[in-house]
Structure 1
Amino acid sequence: MPLVDMPLEKLKEYQGINPRPADFDAYWDRAIAELRAVDAQVELVPSAFQTPQAECFDLYFTGVRGARIHAKYLRPKNVPGPHPAVVQFHGYSSNAGDWTDKLAYVSLGFSVLSMDARGQGGKSEDVGGVKGTTLNGHIIRGLDDHPDNLLFRHIYLDTAQLAGIALGLPEVDPERVYALGGSQGGALTIACAALEPRVKKLAPVFPFLCDYKRVWEMDLAKDAYQELRNYFRHFDPLHEREDEIFEKLGYIDLQYLANRIRGEVLMFVGLMDTICPPSTQFAAYNKITAPKQLAVYPDFGHEGLPGSSDRTVQFFLKE
């Protein structure tokens, strides 16, 4: 089998190399406490897009630090009693996508809440200096500030807040709230279920934002991780602060949140992935203590994985 990373046998044992800050758990406990103190001020605005099968809304809520976060919310019409819901997350610098690509779940009786990550390609605000979009560079946002100001900390909290909103909707069965997404969306799926452990099932696809130092050592700080290289070139060209920088990135390294997940996990990975290297994904997967299963695609990289969407639907439908 061609390799871009470790052999599969070693991947199954790999535990990551990015440093874990000593106060990691206290950091996230403090972050969750900040989230719980926020008045979400949830607002539902009927969308111009409607179908005979779905009611469609622009959902807005206030996240930590005052940003208004947007999600597309679709709920099925004429479904008696509480029904399942899926919270959905998109790739880096993108957005929640079209209404139509969520209708398959609606047709199966699911509500769908699809979030725009703050400051990226959708309608959610980034209030760190300016309102509106900042698009990318989000991994390194806050590296020269207190760790509590890392931007991905706030984005991770937004995912948990959205899941909490879903859990509280009267039309949703709180025992059947699920999460999914690919790449950054896969990362946010893990963050969501880790920070809101009432999420019952999750299906991350080749998750981003894991084991940053491994990305660096593989010389793959390019494409989605290019900003790591840019940061060193501009702000630490001699790498005098390298240990400090990777330790601070450890606060937003999802391998260390993975053990908080309580829901059942179905994860997808392509062994030829040079965008989010397989070892970084396994660093997170191997720390999950909840029930889990892994779908491995030996010949695929960071691309569409045949059958993954169908398998995810079946996973969510199975009681």
Structure 2
Amino acid sequence: MKFDMPLDQLKEYMGTNPKPIDFDQFWDRGLRDLENQSMVYELVPSEFKSGIADCFHLYFTGVGGARIHCQLVKPKNQEDKGPGLIWFHGYHVSSGDWVDKLGYAAEGFTILAMDCRGQGGLSEDHTQARGTTLKGHIIRGIEEDNPEKLYYRNVFLDTVQAARILFSMENVDEERVGVQGASQGGALAVVCSALEPRIKKTAAVYPFLSDYRRAWDLDIGNSAYEEIHYYFKFIDPTHKREAELFNKLGYIDIQHLAGRIKSEVLWAVGMEDNICPPSTQFAAYNKITSPKQLAVFYEYGHEHLRTFGDRVHSFFFELMNT
């Protein structure tokens, strides 16, 4: 990795982006807002049919009134409570194909895969905020004085609401629930575990949304963080609001939530990842105090990590057999 730190330095790196002084109070308020959200959800049978699982579109109302869509995949003929698994997807896309979930359903898991607001799936985005709507969601709401207007604040809370809905299902053993995702999905897996302490296992693959200042200090023009570059170039070309911007982004920086995680964590990093650079990931990983495992893929970037899917399956195996 030529543009980032060597591994020995990465293992000691604790992040650059500032943490707002009221960060913990900010997220405590957000969790209190969720207490006013109904756990009622709507199930619509999917057009996709399977011999081993029942598949549904699940809809719930998130903070701000947005209608949030998830895929729900439940094992057929389940007699006892079984494990649950929450899936989060990468930036811009969706919860994906139903068939992707069938392997875990065959193992007895109930899977809930959430579509992020206003991205490639069916979830709505009701964000009402001043400022640009072009170039991405990191900067959505950044022009507002109130950080509660940030797009990702609501997405982070959606992950908790989705988890609570899965916990509430009569066929799910709440002592056996895990969460997984890659890139944006990896970030949301970290967030969900940090804000919902009942999660038992977290598999995060090269998480996004971490250490924005460090991403800026690197070459981010073609990375997942390119919208920060866009913001400065077209909205704040003389950087008058630079300190304010990075402080505000601190509210949605997963490195500052990572210390809340109680679950066991399996984390994968590609050392040639120029989309979500390793240092931005280590800023969060190094703050986790719960049991954790790090898988380092030396010649890999932001791509399929060969053999890691099998390792994730083994990681969640304990949830199948507790």
Equivalent-residue separation in structure 2 for 1:303 and 1:53 (angstroms)? 30
Figure out how many residues of one structure are paired with residues of the other and give that number: 315
Q: Partner of 2:78 in structure 1?
A: 79
- Give yes or no for contact 1:93–1:136 (8 Å, CA) kept in 2: no
Q: Partner of 2:51 in structure 1?
A: 52
Q: Partner of 2:3 in structure 1?
A: 4
Equivalent-residue separation in structure 1 for 2:43 and 2:71 (angstroms)? 10
Q: Partner of 1:156 in structure 2?
A: 156
Letter aligned with residue 50 of structure 1:
K
Helix, strand or coil at the partner of 1:268: strand
The structure 1 segments of at least 4 consecutive aligned residues displaced by more than 2 Å after TM superposition are none
Q: Which runs of 5+ in 2 are unaligned?
A: none
TM-score (norm 2): 0.95
TM-score (norm 1): 0.96
1:198 aligned onto 2:198: yes
Letter aligned with residue 179 of structure 1:
V
Equivalent-residue separation in structure 2 for 1:13 and 1:221 (angstroms)? 26
CA deviation map 1:296-315 (0-9, x unaligned): 01110100001111111110
Equivalent-residue separation in structure 2 for 1:222 and 1:41 (angstroms)? 41
Shifted more, 172-181 versus 212-221: the winner is 212-221
Helix, strand or coil at the partner of 1:223: coil
Shift of 1:40: 3.7
Helix, strand or coil at the partner of 2:224: helix
Letter aligned with residue 259 of structure 2:
N
1:241 aligned onto 2:245: no
Helix, strand or coil at the partner of 1:60: strand
Q: Partner of 1:215 in structure 2?
A: 215
Q: Partner of 1:265 in structure 2?
A: 265
- Give yes or no for contact 1:269–1:278 (8 Å, CA) kept in 2: yes
- Give yes or no for contact 1:191–1:257 (8 Å, CA) kept in 2: yes
Shift of 1:110: 0.5
1:121 aligned onto 2:139: no
Helix, strand or coil at the partner of 2:225: helix
Shift of 1:48: 1.2
Shifted more, 34-43 versus 211-220: the winner is 34-43
RMSD over aligned CA atoms reads: 1.4
Q: Partner of 1:306 in structure 2?
A: 306
1:250 aligned onto 2:250: yes
Helix, strand or coil at the partner of 2:2: coil
1:286 aligned onto 2:286: yes
Q: Which runs of 5+ in 1 are unaligned?
A: none
Shift of 1:128: 2.1
CA deviation map 1:164-196 (0-9, x unaligned): 111110000101110000000000100111111
Q: Partner of 1:24 in structure 2?
A: 23
Equivalent-residue separation in structure 2 for 1:144 and 1:243 (angstroms)? 13
CA deviation map 1:120-157 (0-9, x unaligned): 00000001259xxx896110011111101101010011
Letter aligned with residue 13 of structure 1:
E
- Give yes or no for contact 2:87–2:179 (8 Å, CA) kept in 1: yes
- Give yes or no for contact 2:52–2:75 (8 Å, CA) kept in 1: yes
